[in-house]
A and B are shown apart, each in its own frame.
Chain A
Amino acid sequence: MRDHLRGDARVRAGRALRLSLLIALALLFLIPFYLLVRNGLSSESDITSPEWTFFPSSLRWGNVKELFEDTSVPFARSLLNSSLIAVATTLGTLLLASLAGYGLARIPYRHANKVFYAILGTLMVPASVTFVPTFVLVSSLGWVSTLRGLIVPTLFSAFACFVFRQYFLGFPRELEDAARVDGLGYWRTYWRVVVPNSRPVFAAVGTIVFIGAWNSFLWPLVIGQDRNAWTVQVALSSFTTSQVIRLHELFVAAAVSIVPLLVVFLFFQRWIVAGVERSGIDD
């Protein structure tokens, strides 16, 4: 009896300890976000003040307005471009990679394994080193400063294909068999049975691709030569010139630039856990 009680107390103490540890870590993880917002809403002199204060002397929401009214940086336009590019890249990648993943996992073909390893191998090639030839190639297609040029070359993600293949390997065969009995071919089975039952994995891969597309910098910088093709990351880089850095504007722009991602993320994150759980990414 006493033993039992002591065990209970121990469990409770353990719980309390875990909770306080979690809270401490959560605060630590939130500090950078707080700093981003704090600096973004501060005046330049508050950021660089010798006395570090938790809150700036006044919250300057005007910084946000200033950012969107700054005629030297087309920030609103760049947000739009980034959204468009990220959505198109995500949809395109999901389509291509899931089809390929399904084909590799489910359609018997003598050389399927060779094809798979040829795809997987590209994961090991650092993309930045084939950068110049890729740029020359895309340029010779006449795709510089076009949406095509910004989007199409980034659509072929070996990582996404790999995840889809692993997931479809574990997809319940009974569902497909039922479709086959109904006389559906590969194509219609895929669209009518496989896709509707695989939403979490699409959400998971889609979120990862979306983040990557939103955050990519060097490719849009070099391909999107025209100012009208600037993405958010390119616009961000324009706040740091070789002569001066406008700290408050840089921070407020950085804060605004991650808002769309946070929204996407919070919205899809339950799906992501479920998606990973079922994807067999780790089998």
Chain B
Amino acid sequence: MTINRRGLLGAGAALGLLSACGSNTGRDEGGSGDGPKLSQWYHQYGEQGTEQAVKRYATAYKKANVTVQWRPGNYDEQTAAALLTDSGPDVFEVNGPSLDQIQGKQVADLTELFDGVKDDFNPAVLAPKTYDGKIWGIPQVIDMQMLYYRKSLLTDAGVQPPKTLDELVDAAKKLTTKETKGLFLGNDGGAGVLGGTPLHAAGLELVTADGKVGFDDPAAARALGKIHQLYADKSLLLGAPADWSDPSAFVQGLTAMQWSGLWALPTVQKELGDDFGVLPFPKDGAAGKPSVPVGAYAAAVSTRSKHQKAGKDYLKWLWIDSTDRQEDFALAYGFHIPARISLAKKAEKLRKGAAADAVRYTTDHGHAEPLLWTPAARSAYQDALSRIIKDGASPDGELKKVVRKVSAELGRVKKKS
């Protein structure tokens, strides 16, 4: 690692004195093993204890000297920049890896690590880590999103938990009062977090199996139009201090329903007890089906690393062999579904109540963003979705433009392979 601690400390006597007063000198980063030095990066998790846990894992590994770096803020930007240089991580967590990172040979092929256990990984989250028949990242845990609703508020308003998108629009409208909004899809009205979820609910896909645009269909415009309806009805909560990923708005009673992640479940349970339920994103139209977005951060090895072999060994040890640690990581701090099917089945915490519902939705309706859905495609789609929702732009016209852009992008990445 390139850290120059001495340089920092030697810069002045006052500095040394004052730093002794600090409660944290950052020396508890693991790194007790022998062998090559590996630097491992994680993005900052909000759940208490996660940081200590991953450092504990690193310390427990004896065949390499692993140092954990816990990175706050703009993680994607930091890793993307660091991967261009020799000062980046050896092994790192990534919300991907992206197709361009794979095609640009920035991450190493990890296929051989999966020998004999490949089928134990949830196929929905393993698929986007696979390209060209090879696997480029080990899924760590599954994150899924779903709709939380407040039972008592629905009963008071005489509303059933919505089973279709139309019912959701109706319910949200009925639940909206002066103090409380019907539904919270994020401060941007849902353009960011929903992504392809409404399209899946309408029975479509972002990218088809043969690499074509999957939503060039009138059903797409119809479904997205209904999200605009939610906005136009003023049923959506907008501008909450904490965004959709944080259950604050829901538990504070700012909204009767909220789209959020499974990770929010412990807080919601603690604050509301039994007074809530969870649902998948409701289906739309005859061909529709409920839709649940899933995703997984993956552990990857940088090809810039001088110790690729050691890095792979370490990742195999942590994310393939050490099932106890995987279980600990998934369930002891936040609330995630283990990426390993065998572990998910075993998990006591996931067997009852809302958690069991969430697991069932994930198995039945889970869909991950495909690898071919590149950042450029995503931002074009997200811009269009925002204009449809907030500006009331014509879904047909906006989607046509997106289809054109995404087709071009798909052509670009195909040419490269």
- Which residues of chain A have a CB within 8 Å of any CB of chain B? 47-48, 50, 68-74, 76-77, 80-81, 84, 131-132, 135-136, 139-140, 142, 144-148, 218, 221-222, 225-230, 234-235, 237-238, 240-245, 247
Contact = CB atoms under 8 A, between A and B. Distances in A.
Contact of A228 (B3, B45, B261): B3
Contacts of A76: 18, 21-23
B4 A227 contact: no
Contacts of B48: 72
A136 B84 CA distance: 7
A148 B2 CA distance: 13
A225 B23 contact: no
A80 B15 contact: yes
A142 B2 CA distance: 7
A72 B42 CA distance: 14
B26 A226 contact: yes
A133 B69 CA distance: 23
Given A74-B22, A228-B25, 20 more contacts: A47-B241, A71-B23, A77-B19, A132-B84, A136-B84, A142-B2, A145-B3, A146-B4, A147-B7, A222-B77, A222-B78, A227-B29, A237-B73, A241-B45, A242-B46, A243-B46, A244-B47, A245-B246, A245-B248, A247-B242
From B21, B46, B70, B334, name the one whose CB has the most chain A CB atoms within 10 angstroms. Answer: B46
Q: Which 8 A-B pairs have the closest CB atoms?
A: A243-B46, A238-B72, A241-B46, A237-B73, A139-B85, A144-B87, A227-B26, A244-B46
B43 interface: yes
Contacts of A68: 23
Contact of B334 (A145, A222, A237, A243): A243
Given A48-B241, A226-B5, A243-B246, A238 B73 contact: yes
A71 B52 CA distance: 11
**Is chain A's binding surface mostly helix, strand, loop or mixed?**
helix
B287 interface: no
A55 B241 CA distance: 19
B415 to A, nearest CB: 24
A146 B5 CA distance: 8
B11 interface: yes
B104 to A, nearest CB: 14
A241 B15 contact: no
Nearest to B43: A242
A35 to B, nearest CB: 13
Contacts of B51: 72
A226 B71 CA distance: 9
B72 A234 contact: yes
B71 to A, nearest CB: 8
A222 B73 contact: no
B417 interface: no
A147 B7 CA distance: 7
A135 B70 CA distance: 20
B245 interface: yes
A136 to B, nearest CB: 5
A221 B73 contact: yes
A73 B71 CA distance: 11
Contacts of B78: 221-222
Contacts of B3: 145, 225-226, 228-229
8 contacts: A77-B19, A80-B18, A131-B81, A142-B87, A218-B74, A221-B73, A222-B78, A227-B70
Interface string B244-255: 011010001000
Contacts of B15: 80, 84
A50 B179 contact: yes
A279 to B, nearest CB: 31
Contacts of A147: 4, 7-8, 11
Given A48-B241, A77-B22, A136-B85, A243 B248 contact: no
B376 interface: no
Contacts of A70: 23
Contact of B85 (A73, A144, A228, A243): A144
B25 A74 contact: yes
A140 B82 CA distance: 11
Interface in B25-52: 25-26, 29, 43-48, 51
Nearest to B4: A146
A108 to B, nearest CB: 40
Contacts of A234: 72-73
Contact of B87 (A74, A225, A242): A225
From A139, A234, A235, A238, name the one whose CB has the most chain B CB atoms within 10 angstroms. Answer: A139
B12 interface: yes
B64 to A, nearest CB: 19
Nearest to A229: B8
Interface string B94-134: 00000000000000000000000000000000000000000
Contacts of B248: 48, 245
A123 B23 CA distance: 41
Nearest to A88: B11
A84 B47 contact: no
B373 interface: no
From B4, B241, B246, B334, name the one whose CB has the most chain A CB atoms within 10 angstroms. Answer: B4
B314 interface: no
Given A76-B18, A227-B26, A234-B72, A139 B86 contact: yes
Interface string B367-405: 000000000000000000000000000000000000000
A25 to B, nearest CB: 27
A222 B21 contact: no
A84 B26 CA distance: 18
A234 B72 CA distance: 7
A247 B7 contact: no
Contacts of A48: 241, 248, 252
A74 B24 contact: yes
Contacts of B29: 227
B329 interface: no
